[in-house]
């Protein structure tokens, strides 16, 4: 019998191996996931609703497929689905075809809210599993919280300005924004892309394989890296910047990355993001000029380095009252406009104990490089838990 404690320590890829081998049944795993939600979601409020009947039916289908000899790369893996996407969304259907079992809809901000880095349910706000006084970030709030709390090992998100990366950073998990256009997205402005939230980098890689069919990760040792704490404009907390840079130094020390001094001077993309989102007849000349300037500067940067590293957010998690005047998206949304892929990794905590993410960005189409770096970084940051995840 799969205990709750054992369930919460398993990665998605380890669950899939065990179910495929007959060591566990998908039904056992799903029952454990639903029990975990029952035990923990009263405080966290990561789920707006759960789908126990559907989940158990789907688990039975997975078990039947396994008995027939069907190979499923994510067999029996419980999945959180970002609210608003549903079971028919591209991510959900591809992941279900790979063997995932969707168990419920995770929280997002209230429609029409003035800020987006939180989650809303009819039971109250979603809390951060690391500290209930903190927001988990957003807009993929419930997905990040459910993964961080151990309720699911993998959840879907979408990232239009940092909505995967910000909650992943604040919940100390992994979040990936693929290159814009690699995965289908319902966004006329072209800013949004689907992406995974996971406790383990291997699981984010398994997500990408399930959705794109790519089977390998790009080799990644060593790659040149440039650092910027502000991108040239952000008001980044010194404690956050120091924590992220310390994590980067560990990756350099491990031989994964080779530092290169670069000057990063992007223009603040806020007017461009708003202009693209709100434009009904195309972008204005001022927006077009801003985007062109930043795109040109990013081309120069990636002509010199393979990877650009930054803190994921300029400040630590805010409370449930909101971020105030701070711009949580300052270090993420430039790459929604430019389309570059980015991954956030847990970088440790500030002296005050607040979680910090390290964001790695690379050239268009380089998400497999980022995931390889993420997998290797996990061995550096968390050597004990990286054992036996494959």
The question of whether 379 is a catalytic residue gets the answer no
For residue 279, what pLDDT is reported?
Answer: 65
Mean pLDDT, to the nearest integer, of 51-74? 98
Strand 355-362 vs strand 307-311: parallel, antiparallel, or unpaired?
antiparallel
The better pLDDT of the pair 275, 297 is held by: 297
Mean pLDDT, to the nearest integer, of 319-327? 89
Fold of 223-381: Amidase signature (AS) enzymes (3.90.1300)
C-beta atoms surrounding 187 within 10 Å: 14
Domain 4-212 in CATH 3.90.1640.30? The answer is no
Are 189 and 197 contacting, i.e. CB atoms less than 8 angstroms apart? no
pLDDT digits (tens, 9 = 90+) for 156-208: 999 999 999 999 999 999 999 999 999 998 887 789 999 999 999 999 999 99
Domain extent listing, the chain = 4-212, 223-381
The question of whether 139 is a catalytic residue gets the answer yes
pLDDT classification of 281: cutoffs 50, 70, 90: low
pLDDT digits (tens, 9 = 90+) for 207-246: 999 999 876 776 656 899 999 999 999 999 999 999 999 9
Of 82, 107, 143, 177, catalytic: 82
Q: Please report which helix (H) or strand (E) contains residue 48, including its range.
A: strand 47-50
Of 353, 8, 307, which is closest to residue 150 (Cα–Cα)?
8
| Ordered alpha helix ranges (H), the chain | 4-9, 12-20, 26-44, 52-67, 90-97, 141-148, 165-170, 201-212, 238-253, 270-278, 285-304, 334-338, 367-381
pLDDT classification of 62: cutoffs 50, 70, 90: very high
CB-based contacts of 269, cutoff 8 Å, min separation 6: 290, 291, 294, 333, 334, 337
pLDDT of residue 384 exceeding 80: no
Which residue has 């995840």 as its token pair? 389
Question: Average pLDDT, whole number, for the chain?
Answer: 94
Of 11, 107, 158, 163, catalytic: 163
| Ordered alpha helix ranges (H), 254-315 | 270-278, 285-304
pLDDT classification of 26: cutoffs 50, 70, 90: very high
C-beta atoms surrounding 110 within 10 Å: 13
Mean pLDDT, to the nearest integer, of 137-141? 96
pLDDT classification of 275: cutoffs 50, 70, 90: confident
Are 104 and 216 contacting, i.e. CB atoms less than 8 angstroms apart? no
C-beta atoms surrounding 303 within 10 Å: 8
Identify the burial level of 273 via C-beta atoms within 10 angstroms of its C-beta, where 0-12 means exposed, 13-18 middle and 19 or more buried.
buried
pLDDT classification of 367: cutoffs 50, 70, 90: very high
Which residue has 């560990």 as its token pair? 250
Of 83, 76, 4, which is closest to residue 37 (Cα–Cα)?
4
Of 25, 135, 139, 328, catalytic: 139
The question of whether 284 is a catalytic residue gets the answer no
C-beta atoms surrounding 254 within 10 Å: 15
Cα angle: 122, vertex 127, 132; to 5 degrees: 135
pLDDT of residue 287 exceeding 60: yes
pLDDT classification of 282: cutoffs 50, 70, 90: confident
């Amino acid at each position: 019998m799969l205990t709750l404690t054992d369930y919460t320590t398993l990665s998605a890829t380890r669950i899939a191996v065990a179910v495929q081998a007959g060591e566990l049944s998908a039904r056992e795993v799903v029952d454990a996931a639903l029990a975990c939600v029952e035990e923990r979601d009263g405080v966290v409020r990561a789920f707006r609703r759960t789908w126990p009947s559907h989940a158990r039916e789907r688990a039975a289908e997975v078990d039947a497929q396994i008995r027939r000899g069907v190979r499923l790369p994510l067999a029996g893996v419980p999945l959180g689905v970002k609210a608003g996407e549903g079971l028919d969304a591209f991510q959900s259907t591809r992941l279900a075809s790979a063997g995932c079992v969707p168990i419920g809809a995770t929280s997002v901000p209230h429609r029409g809210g003035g800020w987006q880095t939180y989650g809303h349910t009819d039971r109250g706000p979603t809390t951060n599993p690391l500290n209930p006084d903190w927001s988990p970030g957003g807009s993929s709030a419930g997905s990040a919280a459910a993964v961080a709390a151990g309720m699911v090992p993998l959840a879907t998100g979408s990232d239009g300005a940092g909505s995967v990366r910000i909650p992943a950073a604040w919940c100390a998990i992994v979040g990936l924004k693929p290159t814009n256009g690699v995965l289908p997205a319902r966004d006329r402005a072209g800013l949004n892309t689907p992406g995974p939230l996971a406790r383990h980098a291997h699981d984010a890689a398994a997500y990408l394989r399930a959705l794109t069919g790519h089977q390998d990760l790009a080799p990644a040792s060593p790659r040149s890296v440039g650092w910027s704490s502000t991108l040239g404009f952000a008001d980044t907390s010194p404690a956050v910047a120091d924590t992220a840079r310390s994590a980067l130094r560990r990756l350099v020390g491990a031989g994964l990355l080779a530092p290169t001094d670069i000057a990063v001077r992007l223009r603040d993309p806020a007017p461009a993001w708003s202009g693209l989102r709100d434009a009904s007849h195309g972008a204005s000349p001022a927006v077009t000029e801003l985007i062109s300037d930043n795109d040109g500067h990013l081309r120069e940067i990636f002509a010199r380095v393979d990877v650009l590293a930054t803190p994921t957010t300029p400040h630590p998690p805010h409370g449930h009252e909101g971020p105030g005047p701070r711009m949580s998206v300052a270090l993420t949304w430039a790459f929604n406009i430019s389309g570059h892929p980015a991954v956030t990794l847990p970088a440790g905590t500030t002296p005050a104990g607040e979680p910090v993410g390290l964001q790695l960005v690379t050239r268009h189409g380089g998400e497999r490089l980022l995931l390889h770096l993420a997998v290797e970084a996990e061995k550096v940051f968390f050597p004990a838990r990286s054992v036996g995840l494959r």
